Amino acid sequence: MRIIADKAYSSRAIRAHLRRRGIAATIPEPADQAGHRHRRGSAGGRPPAFEPTVYRQRNIVERSINRLKQWRGIATRFHKKAHYFHATLTLASILLWLRT
Protein backbone atom coordinates (compact mmCIF):
# COMPACT_ATOMS: atom_id res chain seq x y z
CA MET A 1 0.00 0.00 0.00
CA ARG A 2 1.21 3.50 -0.80
CA ILE A 3 0.00 6.98 0.06
CA ILE A 4 0.72 9.92 -2.23
CA ALA A 5 0.27 13.30 -0.54
CA ASP A 6 1.36 16.90 -0.96
CA LYS A 7 3.90 18.87 1.08
CA ALA A 8 1.34 19.80 3.74
CA TYR A 9 1.46 16.21 5.03
CA SER A 10 5.23 16.06 5.33
CA SER A 11 5.97 15.80 9.03
CA ARG A 12 7.93 13.38 11.15
CA ALA A 13 4.81 12.34 13.04
CA ILE A 14 2.85 11.47 9.91
CA ARG A 15 5.78 9.65 8.31
CA ALA A 16 6.41 7.68 11.52
CA HIS A 17 2.73 6.72 11.77
CA LEU A 18 2.72 5.49 8.16
CA ARG A 19 5.94 3.55 8.73
CA ARG A 20 4.47 1.81 11.79
CA ARG A 21 1.46 0.75 9.75
CA GLY A 22 3.65 -0.52 6.89
CA ILE A 23 2.45 2.09 4.40
CA ALA A 24 4.94 3.49 1.89
CA ALA A 25 4.79 7.28 1.56
CA THR A 26 5.48 9.47 -1.44
CA ILE A 27 5.45 12.95 0.05
CA PRO A 28 7.74 15.75 -1.16
CA GLU A 29 9.84 17.47 1.47
CA PRO A 30 9.21 21.22 1.88
CA ALA A 31 12.18 23.53 1.46
CA ASP A 32 12.08 24.66 5.10
CA GLN A 33 12.25 21.07 6.40
CA ALA A 34 15.13 20.30 4.05
CA GLY A 35 16.91 23.45 5.25
CA HIS A 36 16.50 22.49 8.91
CA ARG A 37 17.81 19.00 8.16
CA HIS A 38 20.84 20.34 6.29
CA ARG A 39 21.59 22.87 9.02
CA ARG A 40 21.71 20.08 11.63
CA GLY A 41 24.32 18.27 9.58
CA SER A 42 24.73 14.55 10.20
CA ALA A 43 22.36 14.79 13.18
CA GLY A 44 19.60 15.89 10.80
CA GLY A 45 19.31 12.42 9.33
CA ARG A 46 18.90 11.39 5.75
CA PRO A 47 16.22 12.83 3.49
CA PRO A 48 12.93 10.93 3.27
CA ALA A 49 12.43 8.72 0.23
CA PHE A 50 10.60 10.37 -2.64
CA GLU A 51 9.75 8.97 -6.07
CA PRO A 52 8.89 11.69 -8.60
CA THR A 53 7.46 9.23 -11.12
CA VAL A 54 4.96 7.92 -8.57
CA TYR A 55 4.11 11.46 -7.43
CA ARG A 56 3.10 12.41 -10.99
CA GLN A 57 0.19 9.97 -10.75
CA ARG A 58 -1.34 12.18 -8.05
CA ASN A 59 -2.04 14.82 -10.69
CA ILE A 60 -4.27 12.40 -12.64
CA VAL A 61 -6.39 11.67 -9.59
CA GLU A 62 -6.68 15.35 -8.63
CA ARG A 63 -7.83 16.34 -12.12
CA SER A 64 -10.39 13.53 -12.18
CA ILE A 65 -11.85 14.62 -8.85
CA ASN A 66 -12.01 18.22 -10.05
CA ARG A 67 -13.89 17.16 -13.20
CA LEU A 68 -16.37 15.18 -11.12
CA LYS A 69 -16.92 18.13 -8.80
CA GLN A 70 -18.14 20.20 -11.74
CA TRP A 71 -21.38 18.27 -11.30
CA ARG A 72 -23.32 20.26 -8.72
CA GLY A 73 -25.00 17.20 -7.21
CA ILE A 74 -21.63 15.61 -6.51
CA ALA A 75 -19.90 18.76 -5.27
CA THR A 76 -22.67 19.53 -2.77
CA ARG A 77 -23.45 15.88 -2.00
CA PHE A 78 -27.09 16.46 -2.92
CA HIS A 79 -28.03 12.81 -2.26
CA LYS A 80 -27.35 12.07 1.39
CA LYS A 81 -27.90 8.30 1.21
CA ALA A 82 -24.74 6.46 0.26
CA HIS A 83 -26.22 4.30 -2.47
CA TYR A 84 -27.83 7.30 -4.22
CA PHE A 85 -24.60 9.26 -4.06
CA HIS A 86 -22.65 6.25 -5.35
CA ALA A 87 -25.08 5.89 -8.26
CA THR A 88 -24.70 9.58 -9.12
CA LEU A 89 -20.94 9.30 -8.92
CA THR A 90 -20.96 6.22 -11.15
CA LEU A 91 -23.20 7.89 -13.72
CA ALA A 92 -21.03 11.02 -13.81
CA SER A 93 -17.87 8.90 -14.16
CA ILE A 94 -19.36 6.96 -17.07
CA LEU A 95 -20.44 10.16 -18.83
CA LEU A 96 -17.00 11.72 -18.38
CA TRP A 97 -15.40 8.52 -19.67
CA LEU A 98 -17.65 8.54 -22.76
CA ARG A 99 -16.76 12.17 -23.51
CA THR A 100 -13.03 11.43 -23.66
Q: Are residues 53 and 21 in the same domain?
A: yes
In this structure, the number of other CB atoms found within 10 A of the CB of residue 29 comes to 16
Q: Are residues 4 and 49 in the same domain?
A: yes
CB under 8 Å, gap of 24 or more: what pairs does 44-52 form? 48/10, 48/15, 49/25, 50/26, 51/26
| 31-45 tens-digit pLDDT | 888 888 888 888 888
| 81-94 tens-digit pLDDT | 999 999 999 999 99
Find all residues with CB under 8 Å of 100, minimum gap 6, and list them: none
Q: Are residues 1 and 38 in the same domain?
A: yes
- Residue 12: the pLDDT is 85
Range of the structural domain that residue 94 is part of: 69-100
Q: Are residues 10 and 35 in the same domain?
A: yes
What's the number of domains the chain is made of?
2
- The rounded mean pLDDT for the chain is 89
pTM exceeding 0.85:
no
Q: How many CA atoms lie within 13 A of 31 on its CB side?
A: 0
Q: How far is CA 81 from the centre of its chain?
A: 26
